[in-house]
Amino acid sequence: MKLFDVYPLYPIELVKAKGSTVWDKNGQEYIDLYGGHAVISIGHSHPTYVARMSEQLTNIGFYSNSIIISGQEALAEKLGRLSGYSNYTLFLTNSGAESNENALKLASFYTGRKKVVSFTKAFHGRTAGSVAVTDNPSIVAPINSTEHVTFLHFNQIDGLEKITEEHAAVIVEGIQGVGGIQVASDAFLQALRKRCDETGAQLILDSVQCGYGRSGKFFSHQFAGIHPDMMTTAKGMGNGFPMGGVLIAPHIQASYGLLGTTFGGNHLACLAGNVVLDVIEEENLVQNAEKIGNYITKSLEGFQNVTEVRGRGLMIGIELDQPVGPVRDALLFNEHIFCGYAGKNTLRLLPSLGIDQKIADRFLESLASVLKA
């Protein structure tokens, strides 16, 4: 059997990783500023992660949600405390799309409504509901195309009056990732909160990419001082172990059977989630994301061929005056640095929250030399 060929691949096979360094099968070393697409939050093969995951696997790796899994409560308590949302409840899933899917369902159950507002350039995942609120017709199958979704202009307050009492939910990324590292302005998020309060639509902050400390606050919307009705997470939550979650405001009540999952919240996933939060706290990674992120952003000011730097903390979009493809390839193949991209001209950095200034400097020197070439 062959693989269903949906991914264009780089001819690189990674066999080892530590912190923000990865090695391919020929022993070539690379710096990883992409984190496997914002997934590696505390660093590859962090020693605490390896030790505690191995121990957990030796004890018990999986059982379903029909028994007590104390790691779930520990995770909810820790996440509530570190994010400042102790009064919210947590539903555990396996991915970002699934988190958004469940948040949309909860908004619809709660309001009894069907319609949803999303925004231009939004990306929320590929499952039925998540892809329907994603602004990319080429990945929406006919079965997922629906009249229920309206796309309004991201970051534009004019037009938010189109959110009405017919809407179950408004879903928005605090910082658009796939859309090119576009930061939702504080005023926009505050206006959204206000309009949702006026209409009863539930405000969902998709924090799958911009959450978990990456922005320099636990959630990027916290710069705007708003409280969403739900937040969705995944990616860095398990540092590579697939897991996601929905943080749910207290007015939305649970009942048996309302939501469910076979794998969500299993023993290994919870252990991964708990270690990530322990390390984020012990190593002050949210503060580090802010510090190193600001350092990189400031250092890029006045850089040749860079027209704009967007983002917050360690979610950085570098807008170039030239196509990003060749720059990204030169960084990878000549400088041995993994970066991401968005659109045609944006280089995207989504590194581990633990990177230090030495790594940042190495990237800045490499980018300067690639752009000069």
Q: Check: CB of residue 140 under 8 Å from CB of residue 79.
A: no
Q: Kindly state whether residue 97 participates in binding ligand PLP, applying the rule CB under 6 A.
A: yes
Which residues make beta-bridge pairs with 306? Answer: 320
- 142-181 footprint of ligand PLP as x/- string (CB under 6 A): -------------------------------x---xx---
CA–chain centroid gap for 156, Å, is: 22
Q: Kindly state whether residue 234 participates in binding ligand PLP, applying the rule CB under 6 A.
A: yes
Q: Kindly state whether residue 346 participates in binding ligand PLP, applying the rule CB under 6 A.
A: no
Q: Kindly state whether residue 243 participates in binding ligand PLP, applying the rule CB under 6 A.
A: no
The C-alpha atoms of residue 348 and residue 106 are separated, in whole angstroms, by 32
Which residues make beta-bridge pairs with 286? Answer: none
Q: Kindly state whether residue 95 participates in binding ligand PLP, applying the rule CB under 6 A.
A: yes
- 178-217 footprint of ligand PLP as x/- string (CB under 6 A): x---------------------------x-xx--------
Selected from 19, 35, 125, 236, the binder of ligand PLP by CB under 6 A is: 125
CB of 216 to ligand PLP, least distance (A): 17
Binding part of the chain for ligand PLP, among 95-103, 159-167, 291-299, 355-363 by CB under 6 A, reads 95-103
Q: Which is nearer to ligand PLP, 93 or 111 (CB)?
A: 93
Q: Kindly state whether residue 140 participates in binding ligand PLP, applying the rule CB under 6 A.
A: no
Distances (CA, A) of 111 to 133, 160, 249, 256: 18, 19, 14, 18
Q: Check: CB of residue 184 under 8 Å from CB of residue 119.
A: no
Which residues, other chains included, contact 137 with Cβ-Cβ below 8 Å and sequence gap of 6+? none
CB of 85 to ligand PLP, least distance (A): 19
Torsion angle of the four alpha carbons 309, 311, 312, 314, in this order, in degrees rounded to the nearest 10: -80
With b for 16 or more beta-carbon neighbours within 10 A and e for fewer, the 131-160 pattern comes to bbbbbeeeebeeebeeebbbebebbeeeeb
Q: Kindly state whether residue 135 participates in binding ligand PLP, applying the rule CB under 6 A.
A: no
CB of 106 to ligand PLP, least distance (A): 16
Tell me which residues touch ligand PLP (CB under 6 A): 95-97, 100, 123-125, 173, 177-178, 206, 208-209, 234
